[in-house]
Structure 1
Amino acid sequence: IDGNKKVKGVKRNIITDKDGDILEASTTPANIHDSKSAYALLAMLVVAFPWIKRIYADRGYRGNFIEKARHDFEIDV
């Protein structure tokens, strides 16, 4: 259950390019916070597209995720 939305099931996280084409996607249980699942998704992105250096995200991806992305993957969020 997602504590904020009170929805049972899964969350779908995707990374798209500027045209909306899906680059990477993952699903997680609904109780996993967005920023925690995003780290694993970002790791897959770096392997597939190592030239990407900046991504744009909404405020759901906050906290240590931004610093870890910069430190571990050299990507600005």
Structure 2
Amino acid sequence: MDGGKNVKGRKRHIVVDSMELLLFVIVHAANHYDSKAAFKVVESLKYRFPRLVKIIADAGYRGVLVDNIKISFGWILQVVVRKDSTKFEVLPKRWIVERTFFWFESYRTF
């Protein structure tokens, strides 16, 4: 159970490129923190994508993860944070992953 989001079951961490092609997926129990599980995802990219330079993530991945990825792999982890406004706002590049998650949820069987 993820207490912050009240999610029972599983969390999915995905990596997509700028053309929305799925590069990597990890599914784990919902009681793991996003930032700790993300290191495993990024670690699995090390030898698969040698030209990778920058990773864009949402606010759930901020903190020491940014420094750990820079030190361990030499990649830049840019965290895109929402502004505290009540109106909807499209955030740069983050919508690519959000749309991919929408496709997963729309075609999921229960």
- TM-score bracket relative to the smaller structure: over 0.9
- 2:58 match: secondary structure: coil
- Rg comparison, structure with higher value: 2
Inter-partner Cα distance in structure 2 for 1:11 and 1:49: 24
TM-score, normalised to structure 1, is: 0.95
- 1:47 match: secondary structure: coil
Amino acid of the structure 2 residue aligned with 1:3? G
The residue that corresponds to 2:33 in the other structure is 33
Q: What is the aligned length?
A: 77
RMSD over aligned Cα, in angstroms? 0.7
- 2:50 pairs with 1:50: yes
Structure 1's unaligned 5+ residue stretches are none
Matches within 5 A, 1:9-24: 9-24=9-24
Inter-partner Cα distance in structure 2 for 1:9 and 1:19: 29
Structure 2's unaligned 5+ residue stretches are 78-110
Q: Percent identity?
A: 36
The residue that corresponds to 1:4 in the other structure is 4
Runs of 4+ residues over 2 Å off in structure 1: none
